[in-house]
Amino acid sequence: MDNLSEFLIGLELRLHTKEVRSCRDSLNELLADEFREIGASGQYFGKQEVLEHLPEEDGISIEASEFEVRELSHDIVHITYKSNLIGKGGNLIRTSYRTSVWKQSESRWQMVFHQGTVTTLKP
C-alpha cells in the first residue's frame, strides 16, 4: 500500500473515532463544504446535518476492514471498505459496505461524498 492510501485510510479511520465524531471543528476540517452522504438508513444529507447531529451520537463504535483505494486523478481518491456498527453493549447492529470520495483542495484532503449500503453478509 502506498503512502497516499495509508494517509487517506488514516483520515477515514479518524472519522470513526469518538473524539472526531463528537467535535464539530474536527468534522468541519475533514468534510468539504460540498459534502453529501447517503447513509445506510437511506437518508441523504449534507455537511450541516452532520455537524448538527453526529456530535450528539453516543455509544457506538465502528470496525472497518477490507479497504480498497483507487486514485481517480491526482486530487481525487475513492475508498471502499466494509464496516461493522457496534452498539453500547458490544453487540453488532449492522454490517455495511462503505464508499468515500476524498478530494485534495489547496494543501489538504477532505471527504466530499460518503455512502453506506447495508449488507446481510456475515461480518
Residue 112 to residue 99: CA distance in whole angstroms: 11
Q: Which CATH number fits domain 3-119: 3.30.300.30, 3.30.565.10, 3.10.450.50, 1.20.1630.10?
A: 3.10.450.50
Q: Name 118's Cβ contacts closer than 8 Å, sequence gap at least 6.
A: 40, 94, 95, 96
Q: Give the model's pLDDT for residue 12.
A: 97
Q: Which three cell numbers stand for residue 8?
A: 487517506
Q: Pick the closest to residue 81 from 12, 1, 33 (CA basis).
A: 12
pLDDT digit of tens for each residue in the chain (123 aa)?
A: 799 999 999 999 999 999 999 999 999 999 999 999 998 888 999 999 999 998 888 778 999 999 999 999 999 999 999 999 999 889 999 999 999 999 998 889 999 999 999 987 665
Residue 37: count of CB within 10 angstroms of its CB = 19
Name the residue ranges covered by the structural domains of the chain.
3-119
Q: Give the model's pLDDT for residue 107.
A: 86
Pair 96, 118: CB distance under 8 Å: yes
